[in-house]
């Protein structure tokens, strides 16, 4: 039985950064998410790929208790994304998007996946995200939403319909501002909470993460890397670490959510050290725990003590 | 006897922000610094002003144990700065700078100030900063340096001479990159430590502060304000809270430095809530302690706990 369901994309990416180039490498929101989350919990992945996709390349995930039976192989080619980054590694420039099999993607959640306690709706058409929620069987399931500027601009009403049905959203700064029409992140997060979600997680790239959950605000800088090699998938890897940790703990208390934000940040910091899913693929638990501890040491301090 | 000496500018500012306009209001690096630091320790201020300066406007600082006897009144007009901000409140646009009496400023440190345990060299010509260090009598005094792009570009060698003689520098991101010629803040800070300082504090505006001290790295996001009214003096107010706290504790251990970074951030967060020195002028201790506690609550989290 899986604990965490993710629905999104599995893709082939071609990426150019100031540090190198990689062609037709594994990518996609659901794959980056799963790669990270599977260190912490049993994941079920729902996505579609084309006949050209080499399933053997992701078979290693089975050893980490990922159920790949929700991947549908369709006639046609796998979704492809081509992008590059300048020295400002915060912003990707999309060179080409080939939707291919994604164009007819209608996510089907297998029966045993539908009982998951935790659900992540990676960035796809909000109409499809609603369709996934329709298939969830546990009324207590914690559902987390991601999206992007394209849907905010072209499917706003449909996105708002999904928003009313989820527990949390995970977005970047620009998306938060575009949805809420507020410049201040605090005001923006508070506004989004009036739409339905009880927690809002804002990804700020090299500046870290802000979370508002109920009345609680949590701030986390990014892990201070000396070099960022390829930022592709950092946001989805963050979400995977975040939700994987929550599913592992089995609760969404504020204490758990804070630790989950740090875990997600740690996973994202590993992801950007190499192209594609490579760094996380080869990761181990001592490395995760070691970096969590080192990160915590950079962030903890005592109470004020002046006379 | 003062504990903390500051040498810098006392000025009249004219400021325009998207939220309002203020003409000929109190400003200057040393004044913002002193206004904040004086909540924590006894401060001696060395600066020069013109005959037009109303000393009665800053007499309130005497009640907070500030020694104003180091302010020299010279023939001529007080230093004036005119600037404005767009909605990106991180960057000031300088409209006019009138050096006036600053042009002939040659800081003289009164004998009893020269015994201070802590010294802050606010942003002035590095030649004058060296001249201040020459007058310091305690070999154990902890000396902290600020500067700006103008001096990095026009007095680089003189700035490097000062750098070799100080314990810490407090600079913003752009200044760190310009001095170190490194894009990565971690690499830049490490490089600067090879020049002399044992601690490097990097101010990142709305993204907080990074400190490297020996082998320790400390990260602090900015206090999450819903509105920023006027950012003028935020950096100097930060430095004032930071050094005031260190002087109050009487040590520069890593634990104290971390708390001092938070205290500085808290003071800066108050400063930007009103024009000029107004908000800090009217501040009280329960407000400072209250915001420190609220901020700490936004930043603390437990150790990793997955199976």
Distance of CA A288 to the CA centre of its chain: 18
Cβ–Cβ contacts within 10 Å for residue B51, how many?
Answer: 11
Given an 8 Å threshold on Cβ–Cβ distance, is B304 in contact with A187? no
What's the rounded mean pLDDT across residues B121-148?
A: 97
Q: Chain A closest CA to B88's CA: distance in Å?
A: 10
Distance CA A136, CA A10 (A): 21
Q: Is pLDDT of A229 > 90? A: no
Closest CA to B1 of B102, B114, B126: B114
Cβ–Cβ contacts within 10 Å for residue B274, how many?
Answer: 16
Distance CA A110, CA A44 (A): 9
Distance CA A161, CA A158 (A): 5
Which positions in chain B touch A305 (Cβ < 8 Å)?
249, 259
pLDDT score at A89: 75
DSSP codes, B81-98: EEEE--S-TT--EEEEEE
pLDDT score at A306: 76
Closest CA to B4 of B297, B243, B272, B280: B243
A128, A121 in Cβ contact below 8 A? no
| C-alpha separations of B291 from A133, A203, A291, B89, B151 in Å | 41, 24, 30, 22, 35
pLDDT digits (tens, 9 = 90+) for A274-285: 999 999 999 999
pLDDT score at B306: 76
Q: Determine how β-strand B118-121 pairs with β-strand B216-220.
A: unpaired
Distance CA A55, CA A47 (A): 12
Tokens found for residue B21: 């306009």
Low-confidence winner among A78-87, A100-109, B104-113 (lowest mean pLDDT): A78-87
What lies within 8 Å, CB to CB, of A126 at 6+ separation is A147, A151, A155, A158, A159, A161, A162
Tokens found for residue A290: 């070691």
Size of interface A-B (CB pairs under 8 A): 117
What lies within 8 Å, CB to CB, of A257 at 6+ separation is A199, A211, A213, A218, A246
* Nearest chain A residue to B293, by CA: A303
A290, A263 in Cβ contact below 8 A? no
pLDDT digits (tens, 9 = 90+) for A172-181: 999 999 999 9
Looking up tokens 């300082």 gives: B197
Can you tell me whether residue A24 is helix, strand or coil?
A: strand
What's the rounded mean pLDDT across residues B11-23?
A: 93
pLDDT digits (tens, 9 = 90+) for A235-269: 999 999 999 999 999 999 999 999 999 999 999 99
Closest CA to B10 of B73, B104, B92: B73
pLDDT score at B199: 98
Given an 8 Å threshold on Cβ–Cβ distance, is B227 in contact with A184? yes
Closest CA to B43 of B29, B62, B56, B20: B62
Beta bridge mates, A25: A13
Given an 8 Å threshold on Cβ–Cβ distance, is B186 in contact with A225? yes
> Which among B245, B263, B304 has CB closest to A263?
B304
pLDDT score at A181: 94
pLDDT score at A118: 98
pLDDT category, B86, cuts 50, 70, 90? confident
Q: What are phi and psi of A46, to 5 degrees?
A: -115, 120
Q: Is pLDDT of B71 > 90? A: yes
pLDDT score at B207: 87
| Reduced DSSP (H G I as helix, E B as strand, rest coil) percent helix, strand, coil of chain A, to 5 | 40, 25, 35
What's the rounded mean pLDDT across residues A52-80?
A: 97
> Which among A40, A219, A262 has CB closest to B224?
A219
Given an 8 Å threshold on Cβ–Cβ distance, is A221 in contact with B225? no
What's the rounded mean pLDDT across residues A278-302?
A: 96
What's the rounded mean pLDDT across residues A146-169?
A: 97
Distance of CA A255 to the CA centre of its chain: 20
Which positions in chain B touch A248 (Cβ < 8 Å)?
306-307
The rounded percent of chain B whose pLDDT value lies above 70 is: 100
Which positions in chain B touch A218 (Cβ < 8 Å)?
298-299, 301
* Burial (CB count within 10 angstroms: exposed 0-12, middle 13-18, buried 19+), residue A103: exposed
pLDDT score at B183: 86
Backbone Cα Rg of chain A = 18
pLDDT category, B307, cuts 50, 70, 90? low
Which positions in chain B touch A219 (Cβ < 8 Å)?
221, 224, 298-299
Closest CA to A239 of A208, A212, A278, A267: A267
Residue A143: enclosing H or E segment and its boundaries? Answer: strand A142-145
A88, A62 in Cβ contact below 8 A? no
Alpha helices in chain B (DSSP H): 29-37, 126-135, 149-154, 156-163, 173-180, 185-193, 234-249, 254-271, 278-281, 285-297
State chain B's mean pLDDT as an integer: 95
DSSP codes, B91-133: --EEEEEE-GGGGG------TTGGG-SEEEE-SS-HHHHHHHH
Q: Chain A closest CA to B60's CA: distance in Å?
A: 21
Low-confidence winner among A38-52, A187-201, A213-227 (lowest mean pLDDT): A213-227
pLDDT category, A207, cuts 50, 70, 90? confident
Residue B170: enclosing H or E segment and its boundaries? Answer: strand B168-172
Tokens found for residue A197: 């979600």
What's the rounded mean pLDDT across residues B139-166?
A: 96
Task: Tell me the CA end-to-end span of chain B in Å, nearest whole number.
Answer: 57
pLDDT category, A307, cuts 50, 70, 90? low
pLDDT digits (tens, 9 = 90+) for B255-293: 999 999 999 999 999 999 999 999 999 999 999 999 999
Q: Is pLDDT of B211 > 80? A: yes
Closest CA to B160 of B191, B139, B187: B191
Q: Chain A closest CA to B238's CA: distance in Å?
A: 15
pLDDT category, B228, cuts 50, 70, 90? confident
pLDDT category, A183, cuts 50, 70, 90? confident
State chain A's mean pLDDT as an integer: 95
Which positions in chain B touch A307 (Cβ < 8 Å)?
248
Q: Is pLDDT of B82 > 80? A: yes
Can you tell me whether residue A228 is helix, strand or coil?
A: coil
pLDDT category, B90, cuts 50, 70, 90? confident
What ipTM was assigned to the predicted interfaces of this complex? 0.91
Given an 8 Å threshold on Cβ–Cβ distance, is A263 in contact with B293? no
Please report how the helices A173-180 and A185-193 are oriented relative to each other, as an axis angle in degrees rounded to 10.
60
């Amino acid at each position: 039985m899986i604990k965490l369901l993710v629905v999104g994309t599995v893709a082939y990416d071609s990426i150019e950064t100031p540090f190198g180039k990689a062609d037709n490498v594994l990518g996609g929101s659901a794959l980056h998410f799963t790669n990270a989350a599977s260190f912490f919990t049993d994941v079920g992945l729902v996505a579609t790929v084309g006949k050209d996709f080499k399933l053997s390349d992701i078979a290693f995930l089975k050893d980490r208790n990922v159920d790949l039976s929700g991947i549908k192989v369709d006639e046609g080619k796998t979704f492809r994304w081509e992008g590059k980054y300048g020295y400002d590694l915060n912003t990707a420039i999309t060179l080409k998007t080939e939707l291919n099999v994604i164009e007819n993607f209608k996510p089907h959640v297998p029966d045993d996946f539908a009982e998951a306690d935790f659900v992540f709706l990676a960035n796809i058409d909000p109409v499809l995200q609603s369709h996934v929620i329709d298939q969830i069987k546990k009324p207590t399931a914690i559902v987390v939403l991601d999206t992007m500027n394209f849907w905010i601009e072209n499917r706003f009403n449909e996105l708002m319909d999904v928003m009313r049905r989820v527990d949390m959203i995970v977005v970047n700064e620009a998306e938060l501002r575009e949805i809420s029409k507020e410049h201040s992140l605090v005001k923006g997060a508070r506004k989004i909470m009036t739409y339905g979600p009880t927690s809002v997680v804002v990804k700020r790239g090299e500046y870290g993460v802000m979370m508002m959950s109920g009345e609680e605000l949590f701030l986390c800088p990014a892990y201070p890397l000396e070099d960022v090699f390829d930022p592709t998938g950092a946001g989805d890897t963050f979400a995977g670490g975040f939700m994987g940790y929550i599913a592992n703990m089995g609760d969404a208390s504020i204490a758990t959510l804070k630790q989950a934000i740090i875990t997600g940040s740690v996973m994202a910091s590993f992801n950007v050290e190499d192209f594609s899913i490579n760094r996380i693929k080869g990761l181990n638990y001592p490395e995760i725990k070691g970096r969590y501890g080192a990160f915590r040491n950079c962030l903890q301090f005592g109470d004020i003590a002046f006379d």
